[in-house]
Amino acid sequence: MSKKAKVILGVVVVLAVAIVAWRLFAQLNRPPATSALTYTAVNASTAALADMEVSIQLSGKVQADNSVTVIPTTPGTVRSVAVKVGDSVTAGQLLFSLDRSLIQASYDQAMAGYQAAEANYTATMEKIENAKLQLERSRELFAAGALSRSDLEQIEIAASDSSILALEAQLAQARAGVSAAEKTMSDMDVRSPIDGVVTALNVSVGNMASGPTAMVTALERVYIQTAISEKFINLVQNGQRVAVEVPAASAEVFSGQVEDLSLAADAMTGQFALKVYLDNSGQLIKPGMFAKMGITTLTKENVVVVSLDAVVYRGGRDVVYRVVDGYAVETPVTTGLEDGDRVEIVSGLSAGDVFITRGVGFVNDGSEVKIIELDGAAAETAAEAETEVSGEENPDTEGGRA
C-alpha cells in the first residue's frame, strides 16, 4: 500500500471513531424522556352526617288580609280632603268632608218638628195632671149634687191617659227624625272604617263624591294565596311554618304560617288552595309583590349526604367512587332524599369515606387517582396541577343519575 493510501485510510478511521464517539456522547447526555402520568387528577370530599329536608317550592302574589272600600252613605260635593294616598290612618279618622248646607236645612226642620212635639207633649201632660187633681173634687161635688154628670164626664176625659200614647208616639217620631238628620250630618264627614294605610283616594275638592271613593288597607298582616297538588296535601298542615322570600321588599327570608288549607280540591284545577300568612308590622311587604315560598314536607337528621354530582349511573345502578390508597373504588349506593344540590346516601357510603366529586367521569373502578383538592382545600399547587394528564372521559358513564 502506498503512503498516500495509508494516509487516506487513517483519516477515514479517525473520522469514523469521532462520529461514533460523538453519538455515544450525545446519547449519554440526552435528558431522560418524560414518562406519561398514569393517574387522574380529581377533587374529593369526605362524607359527613348532615340534616336533609325536602320542600315544595311555591310562588304567588302578596295580598292584604283586610282591605276596605270607602263609599259615602250620602252623595255630596267634596268640601275638604284630610289625607292623601300612603297616609296611615286609624279607625274613625277623618278622610274627607262633604258639603252639608242642604243637609243642614233638613236637620233644622227635623229639630223644629221635634221641639214642637216635645212642647205639645209637655203642655198636654200638664193639662192631664191638673185635670187629675180636679177630678176628685169634681166627684165630691157631683155626689153633693153641685155638679152635673156631663161636667163630670168632661173632667174625667181631660184627666184620662188615653191621649198620652198618641203624644208619646208623635214625640218618638220627631226624635227619630232628628236622629236620622244627625246621622246624615255626621255622614258628611267620611271616616276610615279600620286602622290601615290609604291605598286609593278618588276625591278632590269641589267634585261630587259617590260610589267607591277611597280604599284603606291593613298592612300589619298579609298573605300569599297559592295551591298544592294531591301529592303533597297530606304532607302540609295548618300552622306549619314556611320560609318566604319577597325580593322586592327585602333580602331577608320571612317566616310565614300556613292557614286556610282547603281539604277539597278545586273542581277545575284539581289543586288544594291554601294561604300563607306573614306578620308585616314593619310594612315592608306591599300587596301585589311577588313571593317565593318553600314548605318543608319531610326532614331527616344525621344522614350521610353527598353532592348530587358525585353520584353517577353506571351499569344500571347508582355508584360513588371512593378513594382508597390512591385508587378509585366503584361503590354502589342507595340514594334517598334530594334537595336539588345534595342527595342522601342510605347505604354504600359511611361518614368519613373520601369520595370523588370532580373528575368522576374520567375514572373507572381501580383507576389510579391523585387528589388535588379535598373538602375545598387545595392539595397541591396550581403549577403542579397543570402538568397532570386527565385523559378522556369514561364512555361508560351514562349521563349522570337516572
Q: In the chain, where are the structural domains located?
A: 42-51+301-386, 75-98+190-211, 100-187, 215-295
Residue 384 has pLDDT above 50, yes or no: no
Mean pLDDT of all residues in the chain?
A: 83
Question: Per-residue pLDDT averaged across 140-167, rounded?
Answer: 66
Residue 68 has what pLDDT?
94
Picking from 7-11, 92-96, 320-324, 332-336, which range would have the lowest pLDDT averaged per residue? 7-11
Residue 155 has pLDDT above 90, yes or no: no
User: In this prediction, what percent of the chain has a pLDDT beyond 70?
Assistant: 77
Residue 121 has pLDDT above 90, yes or no: no
Q: List beta partners, residue 322.
A: 329, 355
Residues near 330 by beta carbon (within 8 Å), at least 6 away in sequence:
314, 319, 321, 364, 365
Q: What CATH superfamily is the domain 215-295?
A: Efflux pump adaptor protein, beta barrel domain (2.40.30.170)
Q: Which residues of 153-191 are buried (b: 16+ CB within 10 A; e: fewer)?
A: eebeeebeeeeeeebeebbeebeebbeebeebeebbebb
* Residue 364: its H or E element: none
Q: Among 369, 390, 389, which residue's Cα sits nearest to residue 321?
A: 369
Residue 170 has what pLDDT?
82
Most confident of 151-160, 161-170, 252-261: 252-261
Question: Per-residue pLDDT averaged across 317-337, rounded?
Answer: 94
Top-confidence residue, 376 or 35: 376
Nearest-angstrom CA–CA distance, 188 and 246: 41
Nearest-angstrom CA–CA distance, 159 and 124: 10
Residue 330 has what pLDDT?
95
Which SS3 state, helix, strand or coil, does residue 29 take?
Answer: helix
Nearest-angstrom CA–CA distance, 341 and 311: 11
- Tell the CATH topology of 75-98+190-211: OB fold (Dihydrolipoamide Acetyltransferase, E2P) (2.40.50)
Residue 387 has what pLDDT?
39
Residue 323 has pLDDT above 90, yes or no: yes
Picking from 245-254, 302-311, 335-344, which range would have the lowest pLDDT averaged per residue? 335-344
Q: Are 85 and 198 in contact (CB under 8 A)?
A: yes
pLDDT band (50, 70, 90) for residue 32: low
Residue 103 has pLDDT above 70, yes or no: yes
Angle, CA of 283, 289 and 291, to the nearest 5°: 100
Q: Are 338 and 344 in contact (CB under 8 A)?
A: yes
Residue 111 has what pLDDT?
85
Radius of gyration of the chain (CA): 50
Q: DSSP letters along 98-165, please?
A: E--HHHHHHHHHHHHHHHHHHHHHHHHHHHHHHHHHHHHHHHHHHHTTSS-HHHHHHHHHHH-SHHHH
Picking from 143-152, 172-181, 258-267, which range would have the lowest pLDDT averaged per residue? 143-152
Residue 332 has pLDDT above 70, yes or no: yes
CATH number for the region 42-51+301-386 comes to: 2.40.420.20
